[in-house]
Amino acid sequence: MATFSVRHHGRSLRSGRLRGRHESGEENVRLDFSRTPCENVKEILSNVVCQNGVSKNKKLGYLNCFVKLLNKVGSEQNLGYSIEEILCCLKVGLLHDAKEVRAATLRVIRYLLTDKKVLDVIVSLRIDYLIARCLDICLSNEVERIHAMKLIRKIIQHYPHHVPLSLLYPMVAIGRDGSTERDRLRRACLATICELGE
């Protein structure tokens, strides 16, 4: 009986991992890679920004396609829009009601962050405050908070002297008070702050 439960447990974990993205309700969105990156980015951003008529699942699908597009053509490639225009559109995704859309938007921003110019645009558009908000909200949105931490860690690893204080303050607060609130990101925040001190 124990062998069956272990085998069954292993199988359910594997199948859960495979089903993870589809269980989130993401619609299957396909980009036509024979088109120019500019045309694909236009389609993605118009669906991300649209307030009515585009479901949460479709936005999630388009945001995940954006990451695939960036992996295929590279963020250095001319995407047809300036980084300011792209980040302005993605800002809308960080204000969406659904935590999955906010998490996917954070993931796209992390893939776009390839040089200090992008970080400067993030700060000038005040997106750093929205990233801090994603980290600070603690209402069963662990995936969103993990993606916020990944983005902050990338900023710290590549641009340690240019980390906005707006991203450090929530990590300090979580590190300081996280044990009383049983925050699962407490150790990750403390480790990230320690990396900054090195």
8 Å CB contact between 62 and 29? yes
Is the pLDDT confidence value at 179 over 70?
no
Q: What is the pLDDT of residue 153?
A: 93
Question: Both tokens of residue 92?
Answer: 């809308």
CA 139 to chain CA mean position, Å: 17
Residue 29's pLDDT band (cuts 50, 70, 90): confident
Overall average pLDDT of the 70-89 stretch? 88
Higher pLDDT, 162 or 76: 162
**pTM for the model:** 0.83
Interatomic CA distance for residues 74 and 142, integer angstroms: 28
Helices 37-49 and 56-73, axial angle in degrees (round to 10):
150
CA distance 163 to 151: 11
Residue 18 has pLDDT above 50, yes or no: no
Q: How many other CB atoms sit within 10 Å of the CB of residue 67?
A: 15
Q: What is the pLDDT of residues 119-131, one digit of tens each?
A: 999 999 999 999 9
Q: How confident is the model at residue 12 (pLDDT cuts 50, 70, 90)?
A: very low
Domain at 24-197: CATH architecture: Alpha Horseshoe (1.25)
25 is written with which tokens? Answer: 């309700």
pLDDT, tens only, 95-117: 999 999 999 999 999 999 999 99
User: With contact defined as beta carbons under 8 Å apart, do 192 and 168 qualify?
Assistant: no
